[in-house]
Amino acid sequence: MQHIMEAKEDMPKNDTIKLRNKHIGKSCQLFYKTDPLKIVRGQGQYMYDEEGTQYLDCINNVAHVGHCHPKVVEAGSRQLATLSTNNRFLHDELVKCAQTLAAKMPGDLSVCYFVNSGSEANDLALRLARQHTKRHEVITLDHAYHGHVSAVMDISPYKFNQPGGDPKPDFVHVAPCPDVYRGKIRDCDFPEGTDLGQLYADEVARLVESSSSGIAAFIAESLQSCGGQIIPPKDYFKKVYKIIRDAGGVTIADEVQVGFGRIGTHYWAFEPHEVIPDIVTVAKPMGNGHPVGAVVTTPEIAESFASTGVCYFNTYGGNPVSCAIANAVMRVIDEEKLQENALNVGKYLLEQCRALRFEYEMVGDIRGTGLFVGIELVTNRKARTPATKTAKAVVDRMKKVHKILVSSDGPDDNVIKLKPPMVFNAANADQFLYAIRECLSFMENLEKGQVNGGSESRSTVPMPASVTGGLCNLANGALSEKRDQMIKSV
């Protein structure tokens, strides 16, 4: 069994807050701004504050294989104790990492460039696309987020549409987010069987036709996360990719938040759409919290980039330590069958979450795949009006009462998001399901004036067996057995 270090804080929480307020820029925001958490230790799917309180982490797609996974820690520690230098020397960890990434990609995606973050990866992807096409214009999706460096802020409506954000550059064209629940084209506004993927693809075609100098690239997250856990309609990407390629552009799949087996059915989130991008960007989960990312493209595009004669190097991108960690992460995903876990637990979690729509009027939509789930809250189901305040209250209550960390997002901040570490298990799913039901019941009773708004006492909700113990466990054994049967049947 791995030895777990007992982490201690260097100073009281109030002193940490004072120093942060003094020396850290005010625009660097925290989760739970009014009552921030001070996390001193992580293990698996759990995080611990300075008082030792355990929280179930449903936020961290960064700690992909679990906080402080022993094999990842060992690989990074061993390499750090041996050599840490820039990537302009030959090193086995670099080429092994590239070989593994390429082996997991379909088609001709076989040439890798290593970087430090998703922002750098998407920035470099744009450079590759522009050099290959000799064009500059880009099509992005509304509500998209591709990073924080200047070039990708320009193509991130999630950022530039905020009050105080820089205006959209003329060379950037924004297509509607393919959200069939509350987007520009909604499923409820068309007869059943309407090809919504085609209607959304037509919007991209119009942007291509209006381009003055030609489109260099279409970039999209394979599943939009900041946009509200969006699952595009059938054949959307297939149709869009054809439109872009017929017009001489290239396609970029941003897998920074959703890659490496999270969706369960496939290793990459673009794969269920039956497309092969020209460029793929990866990062966050690749390093399990360590800063490492990559751009993977075709030999043809890589040759176009090299033909300029301008040397590309990234001092720390692909350094031995980063690559040793990334290699360990990918081994753990395979050895511990974490993609399979995401499929099985995710299917159970989604099926149980869908039942919430029949129990709570404020639950408008449930969507997701694997361990990527969104619960959209509304004040009016027919109008699909966003319940922004309710979503924020649910996020806060999940933390305060149930010690479960979730977040909310989407253009109206009304979608409860789950992107937990891939070691999230069936018992964790039951714990979450009990907690979200209690929070939704509490909010319903609050609206009816039946509870004190400031109360942290729990509403009456049946507690599943895996969350309780002793006699409760025996009494609720049937639920646990049913859950296990559901997961095994996947």
φ/ψ of residue 3, rounded to 5: -75, 125
d(CA 36, CA 18): 13
- C-beta separation of 232 from 259 below 8 A: no
Element (H, E) at 58: none
Element of type H or E holding 56? strand 54-57
Q: Where in the chain is the domain with CATH 3.40.640.10?
A: 70-336
pLDDT averaged over 10-residue windows placed end to end, the chain, 490 residues: 61 91 89 91 96 95 96 98 91 97 98 96 97 97 91 84 79 96 96 96 97 96 93 97 98 97 98 98 96 97 94 90 98 98 98 96 97 97 96 97 96 96 98 98 89 59 48 38 53
The CA distance from 123 to 32, in Å, is 30
Looking at domain 30-59+338-448, its CATH class is alpha beta
CA–CA gap between residue 365 and residue 374 (Å, rounded):
8
Q: What pLDDT shows up at residue 88?
A: 87
Position 186 scores a pLDDT of: 97
**What does the DSSP assignment read for 368-424?**
EETTEEEEEEEEETTTTEE-HHHHHHHHHHHHHTT-EE-EEETTTT-EEEE---TT-
Output the six-digit token pair for 344.
């099985």
Give the per-residue pLDDT at 34: 86
Alpha-carbon gap, residue 369 to 347, rounded angstroms:
7
Instruction: Write down the pLDDT at residue 182.
Output: 94
The CATH architecture one would assign to domain 70-336 is: 3-Layer(aba) Sandwich (3.40)
pLDDT of the residue at 4: 52
What is the gyration radius of the CA atoms in the chain, in angstroms?
23
Cα separation, 381 vs 362, in Å, equals 7
Please report, for residues 134, 214, 303, the alpha-carbon distance to residue 300 in angstroms, rounded to integers and kept in the order given. Answer: 14, 20, 5
* Backbone dihedral angles phi then psi of residue 200, each to the nearest 5 degrees: -70, -35
- Picking from 223, 213, 211, the residue whose alpha carbon sits closest to that of residue 255 is 223
CA–CA gap between residue 297 and residue 285 (Å, rounded): 19
Looking at residue 452, what is its pLDDT?
64
pLDDT (0 to 100) of residue 488: 54
The pLDDT value recorded for residue 469 is 37
Q: What is the pLDDT of residue 5?
A: 58
pLDDT the model gives residue 407: 95
Burial string for 346-359 (b: 16+ CB within 10 Å, else e) reads bbbbbebbeebeee
Residues of the chain with CATH 3.90.1150.10: 30-59+338-448
Q: Which residue has the tokens 């394979």?
A: 222
Look at residue 470 in the predicted model and tell me its pLDDT.
32
C-alpha–C-alpha distance, residues 354 and 469, integer Å: 26
Its sign, for the CA torsion 78, 81, 83, 84, is positive
Report the pLDDT value the prediction gives residue 3, as an integer from 0 to 100: 44
Please provide residue 68's backbone torsions phi and psi, each rounded to the nearest 5 degrees.
55, 45
